[in-house]
Amino acid sequence: MTPRVTPRQLEVKIAKCLEDFYRRRLSMLGNLQLKKILRRKNPYLFRALGNEIASDIVQQILQAYVSASDETIFGDAFFEPVALMVSHGKVSDAPGVDFVIETRRRYTAVALKSGPNIFNASQKRRQNQEFNELRSRLYKIHKQFDPLLGHAYGRRNVGPSGKWIYRERSGQAFWAEITGDPDFYLKLIRLMKNIPTRHKKRHLEEWGAAVNRFTVQFAKDFCFPDGKIAWEKLVEFVSKQDSIPSTKT
């Protein structure tokens, strides 16, 4: 029988994963390039919303990018390592599968996502295909193949259907399944303790530096000498083509 993870081991793991999360966040902020992010933004929307202050535009751009990045970084740095440890699973080399939990009779392939609202129809089809491909590879092991799409938070819990071969478990149900502890999802938040507070000051310093750095660059590249935003120059940067493709057939 596989031994359970002790409370102390879990506490140490959570602290380590949080440290890794904050380290990656700071590294991401330090390496950001304004123009690389700006090329994916909608200048027409900024203009329509009446944005006329360079620092406001910069902060909106940064906030949207960091929020999206945080979800990805946190999944990789926190949820996946913790789930792997407490489930006593092993890392999978199969595309679309993060780890597997194998018993004498069952092979559970787990694709772990942060929450239940990130998959569109195309991504669901791809996940289903990846599970099917793994099932084909494992045909000779003669074990029940159990594909599981897990969500670290949320309430989505559905079984396989005629369309999808995998089942879904979210939040409390997911953590309870891989740990045997119905309260594990609460322990995750409790054991963060005061670690986030300790890192907040450093993050705010780096955030302020990034805003200042990008504001100076934005003003230099996309503002007139009097400080007003050069909207046409910004639109050209985002959308102007080096050459317009011919429409002739």
Cα torsion 119, 124, 103, 93 to 10°: value is: -90
Chain position carrying tokens 């009779």? 105
pLDDT at 63: 92
Chain position carrying tokens 């478990």? 169
Nearest to 57 by CA among 236, 203, 228, 225: 228
pTM of the model: 0.87
CA 43/CA 86 separation, integer angstroms: 46
Residue 100: strand, helix, or coil? strand
Kindly state the helix (H) or strand (E) to which residue 223 belongs, with its residue range: none
Exposed e or buried b for every residue in 115-125, given b needs 16+ CB within 10 A? bbeebeeeeee
Contacts of 100 (CB under 8 A, 6+ apart): 89, 90, 92, 107, 108, 109, 110
Q: 97 and 145 in contact (C-beta within 8 Å)?
A: no
Write down all domains in the chain, each with its CATH number in brackets.
Answer: 1-79+194-241 (1.10.3250.10), 89-193 (3.40.1560.10)
pLDDT at 145: 95
pLDDT at 186: 97
CA 111/CA 133 separation, integer angstroms: 14
Per-position pLDDT tens, the chain of length 249: 456 889 999 999 999 999 999 999 999 998 999 999 999 999 999 999 999 999 999 999 999 999 989 999 999 999 999 999 999 999 999 999 999 999 999 999 999 999 987 677 888 899 999 999 999 999 888 899 999 999 999 999 999 988 899 999 999 999 999 999 999 999 999 999 999 999 989 999 999 999 999 999 999 999 999 999 999 999 999 999 877 776 665
CA 37/CA 206 separation, integer angstroms: 18
CA 169/CA 237 separation, integer angstroms: 44
Q: 99 and 83 in contact (C-beta within 8 Å)?
A: yes
Contacts of 137 (CB under 8 A, 6+ apart): 94
